[in-house]
Amino acid sequence: MKRFSIITAIFSVLLLSASAFAQISVSNATPVTENFDGIGTSATAALPANWKMSSAGTGLTANWTTGTNVTATTQAANSGAPTAGGRYNWGTSASDRSIGFMTSGGYASPNSIMSFYRNASGSTINDLTINFQFERYRINTANASVTFFTSTDGTNWTARTAGDIATTEFPTGASTYTFGSPTTVTRSVTLTGVNIPNNGDFYLRWVVNTTGANSQGIGLDEVSVTATLNNPPTLSIDDVSQSEGNAGTTNFIFTVSLSTATHGGVTFNIATADGTATIADNDYANNSLTGQTIPNGSSTYQFTVAVNGDTTVEPDETFFVNVTNVSGATVNDSQGLGTIVNDDVAAATVEFSNSIYFEDESQTAVLTVVRSGDLSGTTTVNYSTQNPAANRGNVSAATGGEACTSGVDFIHQSGTLTFGVEEDFKEIQIQLCGDTVIEQNEAFGVYLSNVTNGTLGSPSTAQVLINDTANEFSNTDPIFIGTGGDSYESSIVVSGIPTNIGGLRVTLFDFNHLTADDIDVLLVGPQGQKFLLMGDAGGDDGLNDAATITFSDNAGRVLPDNSQIFTGIYEPTTWIAGQTSFPAPAPTAPYIEPGSEVGGAVTLASVFGNTNANGTWTLYIRDDNNAFQRVGADGVVAGGWGLQFFAPTAAGVSVGGNVRAGKTPVAGATVMISGGSLSQPQTTKTGSFGNYRFEGLPVGETYIVTVISSRYNFPQSSIVLNVSESVDGADFEAEDR
C-alpha cells in the first residue's frame, strides 16, 4: 500500500498551526508528502499540523478560516471492524495508517479533508503535481465518491475533476471489512500556470460523499505535492590553480556556486578524480562526500582537496573534482579542474643548441650556447676550439690558427661565457678563413667545460662544417632584390692573377627570395662577356630558406626547375631560353644561356676561359615577374658574392661530392666512377657526413659517377662530368624507398 513514487522539483512550504504556518523544508529529491503513518493507533492521536477533517454536522468551512484543528476526542484509531460513523484513523498496524470517514448518525455526508501550504521557495511556483490515493476498508450497499478542489485563499475553491473518484470505482456489495487488502484508487493531478508567488498560499480539499447509513469506510493516504519553480538556479564549480609547495600540504579550495540563492536547498555528491596527478603517486589526497547541501538562502559551497608538496622537478599536473547527482538546480559546469603548478626548478644546464653547425668558408660561424633550468643566478662555462684528431667520414680536418694565413681554415677561439640572471643563451663567433683551394667540406670541434653554478648538458661538443666556396675575390655587401624588373648591380675588381685563366667558380652567399622562379642572375666579365648564371629555377618556394649557391662547371647537377634549392654546388642553369634585356645599367640582350642539361656545352670555362680575368666583374640580379612595378625588396643575397679562378692544368684531378636526403647525410652509400681512360670502375663508400672522393683522375676526360644504396632511391643516380679541373660538388639527392 505504501509504494507510491513521484518525480520531484525544489520547493519549501510553510504550514498553518492554529493561526500561523510552521515551516517544512524539503530538498529536490523529496516532495512534500504525508502518509499519516506517524499519528499512531491511539484514539486520541492528533492529525498532522497542516491537516483538518470536518463533517457536515460540525461546520464544514468554519474550521478552515478559524484555524481550529479537530483532532483527538472525535478521532478513532481502528484496526478492527467499527460500526459507528465517524472520522477514522484507519489501518492494520501502527506503521500503516490513513485518515477518513464512515458516515453514520451524526457524521452525515458530505465530509471533508483539507491540507494547506505556503510557498517559501524564494521563487514563483509555475506548476503543481498532486498525487494521492483513497483506500476502501468497509463495503456496503451504499455508494461513495470523492470530489477534489484547490484554492489559494481557503475560501474560493476550484474543482479539479481529474482528482475526482466516481461511485463506480467503489462498487457496492454485502457489508464486510477488507483491512488486509483494501480497494485502492490513485490519482495524479497536474496544475499548470498556477503562478503561486513566494510566500503565497495554496490549499487542497477532498470532499467525501456517501449515501445511506453505515456507509462505506474510506481513507486518504500517500499524498504528495511537487512544485515546479519558475527560475531554478544553475550550478557551477570553479577551477583552481596553485603551486604545490615543497613539503606538507596545500589546500586547493573549490567553490560550488549557484546563480541565485537556493529555492529550498540543493543537494549533490562531490568527489576527486585522477588526471595526470594521481592518488597512487601521492600527488593529492582523495576526498569524496555524498549528500552535500547548499541550504535555502545560500549560493556557495566550498570543497577542500589537500595537495602534497614535493621537490621533484616535473610538469604541471592536473586532477578533477566532479559534482554528481545534483538535485534542486540545473547543471552548468559539473567538473572542476585542479592544476598543480610545478614550483621546483632544476639546476642550470648549459649545452649547445645543436651538435652540428654549417657555415660557408670565409664567413663567421655563430654557435649558440643555451642555459635552461634555474636561471636565478650567474652561471659560467669555458669554451675552446680544437682541430679534430682525424678526418670524420670523408670530411677533412680543418686547421685552426691565430690568423687567416695560408693553410689556416679557422681562427682558434677560447674563453668564458657568463650568463647573468635570467639570461638563457650566449653566442660564440668563430671566423672562418677563405682560400683558393677546391676542397671537400672540412670540420673542427668546439668544446664546453668547467661549468660553475650549473651542470654540463648534451651536446657539450659541437662540430662546425665548413662549406667550400668561391672567395678568392669577394664583395660582402648584401645585394637587395626588388620586383617589377629592377636590376641591382654589384661589382668585384680583380687584379694580380694570370692573364689567361682556365675557368672559374662563382658563389652567392645566403641567397633567399620569396619567388625563386622569378630570379635571373647575369654575370658580366671584364671583356664584356654576358653569361646567365641562373634563370627561372626553383619554383615558387625554391629559396624560401637561405642557401649558399656555388656555380661550377663540374658540379654534375643543375638547379632544380620547381623544388627547393639547398646549399651546394651546381652547374649554371637556365630553364627558359631567350631572356629579355635587363634594365639599365646592365648590358642588353642577347645573353649567353647555359640551359638546363647536366654537362652541357655552354660553361663558365667556354665563355671566360683563356681570357684575361683582371678587371671589373659585375653581377646583376632581377625579379622578372612581368609586373614592371616595384613593390619592395623581396629577396637578398645577404653575404654578397665571390669569385675563384683556375689556371689551365694537365695534372691529375679529383672528383668528390655529398649524398644526402634533404638535410640528412646518407652514410654507407656506394659511389662508383667509370669512363674516361679508366681501365675499370672505381668504388668508394660515403662517410658519416655523406661525403665521398676519388683522387688522381686524368684531366680533360668524361666520367660517369653513379650512387647505389639499399635504403634510398635516387631520382638522378648518375652524373656525367667533363673534367677539366678538380670537382667537389658532384652531389646526389636521395629519397626513402
pLDDT tens digit string along 66-99?
333 333 233 445 555 666 777 777 777 777 888 8
So what's the pLDDT on residue 439?
A: 75
Calculate mean pLDDT across residues 525-550.
91
CA 214 to chain centre: 79
Q: Which of 109-118, 237-246, 404-413, 528-537 has the lowest mean pLDDT?
A: 109-118
Q: What is the mean pLDDT of residues 212-224?
A: 82
At residue 518, the 3 state secondary structure works out as helix
Q: What is the pLDDT of residue 75?
A: 41
Lowest mean pLDDT among 481-485, 506-510, 519-523: 481-485
Has residue 659 got a pLDDT over 90? yes
Cα 520 from chain centroid (whole Å): 45
Residues 6+ away with beta carbon under 8 Å from 189: 129, 130, 131, 148, 160, 162, 163
**What pLDDT, on a 0 to 100 scale, did the predictor assign at position 374?**
83
- Per-residue model confidence as pLDDT tens digits over 507-518: 999 998 888 888
**What is the rounded average pLDDT for all residues in the chain?**
82
pLDDT tens sequence across 227-268 = 877 667 889 999 999 998 888 899 999 999 998 776 557 889
CA distance 719 to 731: 9
User: Residue 24: which pLDDT band, with cuts at 50, 70 and 90?
Assistant: very low
122 band by pLDDT with thresholds 50, 70 and 90? low
Length of the chain, in residues: 737
pLDDT on residue 9: 34
d(CA 650, CA 423): 57
- Judged against a pLDDT cut of 70, whether residue 469 lies above it is answered with yes
Of 292, 283, 296, nearest in space to 256 by CA: 292
pLDDT at 57 over 60: no
Confidence (pLDDT) at 327: 83
Tell me what pLDDT residue 505 has. 93
- As a whole-number percent, the residues of the chain with pLDDT over 90 amount to 43
CB 657 within 8 A of CB 705: yes
Indicate if the pLDDT at residue 418 is higher than 50: yes
| Confidence (pLDDT) at 79 | 53
> Which tops the pLDDT comparison, 180 or 398?
398
Give the Cα separation of 721 and 574 in Å (integer): 18
pLDDT at 313 over 80: no
pTM of the entire predicted model: 0.47
Alpha-carbon distance 200 to 659, whole Å?
A: 91
**What are the percentages of helix, strand and coil residues in the chain, rounded to 5?**
5, 50, 45
Q: Given this model, what pLDDT does residue 216 score?
A: 79
Per-residue pLDDT, averaged over 491-496, amounts to 95
Predicted pLDDT at 60: 37
Query: Would residue 153 be called left, alpha or beta, if left means φ above 0 and alpha means ψ between -120 and 50 degrees?
Result: alpha
Backbone angles phi, psi at 610, to 5 degrees: 60, 30
Task: Compute the average pLDDT of residues 59-65.
Answer: 36
At residue 564, φ and ψ (nearest 5 deg) are -60, 135
**678: which 3 cell numbers?**
679508366
**pLDDT > 70: percent of the chain:** 85
Report how far residue 210's alpha carbon sits from residue 419's, in angstroms, rounded to the nearest whole number: 102
Q: How far apart are the first and last CA of the chain?
A: 80
Question: How confident is the model over 199-205, as a mean pLDDT?
Answer: 85
According to the model, what pLDDT value does residue 230 have? 67
Residue whose C-alpha cell reads 491537516 in the numeric block:
51
Say what the pLDDT of residue 241 is: 95
Whether cis (ω within 30° of 0) applies to the bond prior to 526 is no
Higher pLDDT, 293 or 199: 293
Asked if pLDDT for residue 425 goes beyond 90, the answer is yes
Mean pLDDT, rounded, for 487-511: 89
Contact 149, 164 (CB under 8 A): no
pLDDT band at 200 (very low <50, low <70, confident <90, very high): confident
| Alpha carbon of residue 418 to chain centroid | 37
Q: Is the pLDDT of residue 311 over 90?
A: no
**Of 44 and 731, the one with more pLDDT:** 731
Q: Residue 214's pLDDT band (boundaries 50, 70, 90)? A: low
What gap in Å lies between CA 351 and CA 458, rounded to an integer?
A: 6
| Dihedral (CA of 233, 262, 271, 312) sign | positive
* Closest by Cα among 542, 585, 533 to 564: 542
